[in-house]
Amino acid sequence: MPTYNLTAINIGGFSLGESDKVVSMFSTERGLVRAVAKGAKKPGTKMAGKSEALCVNNLLIAKGRSLDIITQAESIDTFRKLRVDLVRLTFGLYYAELTQAFAEGLEEDSALYYQTLFNALKLQERAADDARLLALEFGMALLRQLGFSPELTVCVRCRHALTEYNITAFYPNLGGIACNRCGQQAKAKAAVSEIDLTGYYSTREKPDADEEYEERGIFVTPLVWKLLVSADACCDELAADLPEDDLRPRRRELSASQKPALDAAHRLLQRYLEDRAGKHMRSLDLLKQI
Ligand SMILES: [Zn+2]
């Protein structure tokens, strides 16, 4: 049977029969790969541990007729400390869910994305920075690699430079932030559309679904904007193949006023990512219950 080697991070999986599992993983060599882990459902076996989500392994895989089979697995990292922190583990699973959703678009430069995901999980495990701040940086790096980086420095409509004094809202459909002037115009247009729906202006054509959606921007404060811009600036660092100790040696402190802004920035980016993926990411729903 032909075989191949992989270095991969587990990003999901499902049961196969009584004792096996199909593991989804993102590999540095081939991007998304699915393979059978024999005996992985039997508790206490070596394969059970190695097939868990967010474990990183060096693997030898045999090509099967329908599904490939893991024949050897050597553990590289299990992010042990991440597993004992429910909030950070949830963010790790959110990264895995995003990776599954966008895997196709990441295959072209799979080694770069593998490194980004590995570093992002390492930083969550280290727990020096706020989990949401790290997720914001990871989301930006993911979007950069997909070629969907949001427009944050010039207006997405008129291309004027954005500053903290002229920003209004983020438009997921347009992929960026609009300046004050363009935001006001969009708002006025949206107001007319609302009147339309009540029937007062029944002769005017109803805007199509896309246009309607694009007009509902997400309000962005200067603090939220600054957090988005600085998260975007971390993309290269997150994708770099650095020795572990050189990765982010300094902690990023947040002031009390930055915390609610961080929450808003994180929600905004999640919404944009979900918009791009065309689906809701369920991993973080758990955090609403704790
Ligand atoms: Zn503008």
pLDDT in tens, 199-244: 443 334 444 544 544 567 899 999 999 999 999 999 888 999 888 7
Distance between Cα 171 and ligand 1 center (Å): 12
Q: Which CATH number goes with the domain that contains 54? A: 2.40.50.140
pLDDT score of 280: 95
The domain total for the chain is: 2
If you measure from the C-alpha of residue 235 to the centroid of ligand 1, how many angstroms do you get, rounded to a whole number? Answer: 26
Mean pLDDT of 113-119: 97
Supply the pLDDT for residue 194.
55
Q: Which of 77, 110, 126 is the last residue of a domain?
A: 77
- Domain co-membership, 103 together with 232: yes
Domain check: are 51 and 153 in the same one?
A: no
- pLDDT band per the 50, 70, 90 thresholds, residue 121: very high
Q: What is the pLDDT of residue 195?
A: 52
| Residue range(s) defining the domain that contains residue 20 | 3-77
DSSP 234-245: THHHHH----GG
Q: How far is the centre of ligand 1, averaged over its atoms, from the C-alpha of 220 (Å)? A: 14
Whether 42 and 19 have beta carbons less than 8 Å apart is answered as yes
Length, in residues, of the chain: 290
Checking if the pLDDT of 69 tops 70, the result is: yes
Rounded Cα distance, 132 and 156, in Å: 25
Same domain for 144 and 219: yes
Q: How far is the CA of 158 from the centre of ligand 1 (A)?
A: 4
Task: Give me ligand 1 centre to Cα 215, in Å.
Answer: 13
User: What pLDDT score was predicted for residue 215?
Assistant: 61
Residue 198 has pLDDT above 60, yes or no: no
Distance 127 CA to ligand 1 centre (A): 39
